[in-house]
Amino acid sequence: MQSIYFKLFLILLFTIFVSLALGKYPISFEQMLNYLYSLLISNSLDESLQMIDNIIMEIRLPRVIAAILIGASYAVSGASFQAMFINPLVSPGILGVLSGSAFGAALAIAFFDSWFLTQLFSFSFGILAVIFAIFVTMIYQNRANNSLILILGGIISGSAFSTLLSIVKFTADPYEKLPSIVYWLMGSLSYIELNQIIVVFFPMLFGILTLIMVSKYLNILSFSEEEAKSMGVNTKLIRTIVIIVATFISAISVCLAGMIGWIGLIIPHFARLLVGANNQVLLPTCAFLGAIFLLIVDNFSRMILEFEVPIGILTSVIGIPIFIFVLKSSKKALQ
């Protein structure tokens, strides 16, 4: 399996290189090599490379790193939830985090004029939505299958915050606030700045690695509750860790770039076609594939038209046919 990791790593590096070169101001292959040589080897930039340095470091590199982190976070979170719930059709938004984050951001946009508050509200209400879903689960604890009740709690939470989002959109100023809310909900990496990446880089990386480290226990959760406990696994602790960590990195992803769907649903399915269902191999593969996928989609969003297309639209347009193909190719995994 190390060979596939190495291949995916090389593909990721190539995609990063292409992403840094693509844009309204194109950078040639030769210019990129000269820039990298000057930056990494000679440690000095002449005037001809100064503009390229500004474009890469201030505009393209932050969104490239953000795409890698967000794509990997959604993919790993989706795979973790699918393993935990033993259901290949769940996604990172199953517990309501996406709906809660969307409501929080819309609320901040409607009543405040601060990008910081928009991100803060998005993150906070995303966490709050999951807490509400867990609260619903606790009410009905021991009355039915806990995993099923948790999914139902997430559906209730997501519906509640979607309703609140509709109320905010209905009451928002239709000329100034509503267009901003709608644009944010479609997702975009265009507002990412380097100082934001510095703040979220290590928390998101830690979250991704944590889910990968507990992946061997996710394999055991595919057995019955009694069998897992007989193997010495604290199933409640593992589920708690997965829910907290997956919610945390998903909420950060939403507050950074808005609503970007389908990654956490389609990438785990595609990864299973490559490496199988062993979560110890599946989750690292999902991290690579999620990062590569979102980088490629972001390149399309920047280049296919004169203006930037919201990335959430493209992930849906690309994700739907891919999901249909993957479902057709992985019938055995769903049986």
User: Tokens 């915050």 identify what position?
Assistant: 161
Residue type at 189 in one-letter notation: L
Distance of CA 329 to the CA centre of its chain: 24
- Amino acid sitting at position 188: S
* Gyration radius of the chain's alpha carbons: 21
Spatial contact of 27 and 52, defined as CB atoms under 8 Å apart: yes
* 267, 286 Cβ separation under 8 angstroms: yes
- Is residue 255 within 8 A of residue 101, CB to CB? The reply is yes
Q: Residues 95, 78: contact at Cβ < 8 Å?
A: no
Q: How many CB atoms lie within 10 A of CB 254?
A: 31
Domains in the chain, CATH or no CATH each: 2-8+61-334 (1.10.3470.10)
pLDDT tens string, the chain, 335 residues long: the values are 678 899 999 999 999 999 998 888 888 888 888 888 777 776 677 777 788 888 888 889 999 999 999 999 999 999 999 988 888 888 888 899 999 999 999 999 998 888 889 989 999 999 999 999 988 888 776 555 667 788 888 999 999 999 999 999 999 888 888 998 988 888 889 888 889 899 999 999 999 999 999 998 888 887 766 777 777 778 888 888 999 999 999 999 998 998 898 899 999 988 998 998 899 999 999 999 999 999 999 999 988 888 888 998 999 888 888 878 777 765 544 44
pTM: 0.91
Do 235 and 193 form a contact (C-beta atoms < 8 A)? no
Query: Which tokens sit at 293?
Result: 């996928």
